């Protein structure tokens, strides 16, 4: 499928050579052909990415000092020329009809600013495990529309499935201070402003490996993300006290639930009435607790 709308696919990479080539190939093989690929080398110690990128005419290699995944994605968006933006981690893959199906949605419905989907799980060797991440059939309808309140503290867009209008990044960018859980913060802020659409069909492969150094495996580093998210909502200009109370209550619940899952032998015990009265105190509690342990 040829189309006049350019899609920019941003692939950050940092000291991980083994999967980058196949990730790029999954973009090259798309049925939608008007694509540029921006490989963002986030300060890798060995210059592998430039040589891999040079094999493909659609690839643009860009180097920057190491700043983390949020920084690399923001840098990629800043240099992208496309009308639409897709994000792909260097160990994940696209199914070959992904971009075509998502562009079709965005071209047809101008009120949709992000299209996301389910994804198939693959292992370290690229073999499908048979698992799919995404909404259950009965909850799939809750992933489309203005989803802010039903998503807050519960779910976010599954990496690497989204395709965005570039205007999304005129409004919000990834918080470069957040090194783990940056997607949780970003997508909840995006949901506050923009209407999204969910496709139940898996359109990407998410690699779930055994490497304990993967950021997604370091779940204890997610502690306190809810407090940072609340701070970012205030920075966005939300001033309505009821809205802020409701956000704080939901995030406090999510933070304590997360703590009790990670540190089941040292749980936070709460008085439900006190949480209702003062969720702002409980929002800060996981950070206080980890600093005193």
Domain boundaries, the chain: 7-217, 219-292
Q: Which tokens in the block code for residue 72?
A: 């690399």
CATH 3.40.630.10 corresponds to the domain 7-217? no
pLDDT tens, position by position, 7-52: 999 999 999 999 999 999 999 999 999 999 999 999 999 999 999 9
| CA gap 95, 203 in Å, rounded | 5
Are 115 and 181 spatial neighbours (Cβ–Cβ below 8 Å)? no
Tens-place pLDDT, residues 115-127: 999 999 999 999 9
Separation of alpha carbons 78 and 76, rounded Å: 5
- CA distance linking residue 72 with residue 90, whole number of Å: 12
β-sheet bridge partners, residue 37: 9, 59
Measure the CA–CA gap between 167 and 194, rounded to whole angstroms: 10
Residue 82: pLDDT over 60: yes
Q: Is the pLDDT of residue 141 over 50?
A: yes
For residue range 100-111, list pLDDT tens digits in order.
999 999 999 999
Residues in a beta bridge with 41: 13, 63
Q: Are strands 35-41 and 112-122 parallel, antiparallel or unpaired?
A: unpaired
The model carries a pTM of 0.93
């Amino acid at each position: 499928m040829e189309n006049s709308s350019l899609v920019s696919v941003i692939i950050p990479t940092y000291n991980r050579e083994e999967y980058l080539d196949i990730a790029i190939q999954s973009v090259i093989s798309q049925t939608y052909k008007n694509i540029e690929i921006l490989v963002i080398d986030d300060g890798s110690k060995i210059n592998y990415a430039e040589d891999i990128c040079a094999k493909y005419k659609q690839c643009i290699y860009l180097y920057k000092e190491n700043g983390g995944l949020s920084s690399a994605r923001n840098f990629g968006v800043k240099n992208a020329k496309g009308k639409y933006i897709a994000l792909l981690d260097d160990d994940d893959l696209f199914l070959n009809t992904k971009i075509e199906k998502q562009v079709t949605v965005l071209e047809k419905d101008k009120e949709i600013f992000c299209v996301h989907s389910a994804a198939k799980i693959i292992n370290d060797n690229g073999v499908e495990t048979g698992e799919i991440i995404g909404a259950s059939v009965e909850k799939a309808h809750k992933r489309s529309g203005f989803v802010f309140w039903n998503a807050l503290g519960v779910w976010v867009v599954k990496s690497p499935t989204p395709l965005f209008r570039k205007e999304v990044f005129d409004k919000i960018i990834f918080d470069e201070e957040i090194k783990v859980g940056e997607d949780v913060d970003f997508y909840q802020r995006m949901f506050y402003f923009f209407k999204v659409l969910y496709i139940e069909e898996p359109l990407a492969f998410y690699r779930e490996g055994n490497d304990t150094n993967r950021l997604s495996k370091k779940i204890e580093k997610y502690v306190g993300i809810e407090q940072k998210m609340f701070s970012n909502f205030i920075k966005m200009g939300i001033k309505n006290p009821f809205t802020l109370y409701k956000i704080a209550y939901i995030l406090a619940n999510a933070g304590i639930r997360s703590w009790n899952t990670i540190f089941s032998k040292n749980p936070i015990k709460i008085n439900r009435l006190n949480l209702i009265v003062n969720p702002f105190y409980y929002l800060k509690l996981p950070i206080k607790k980890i600093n005193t342990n």
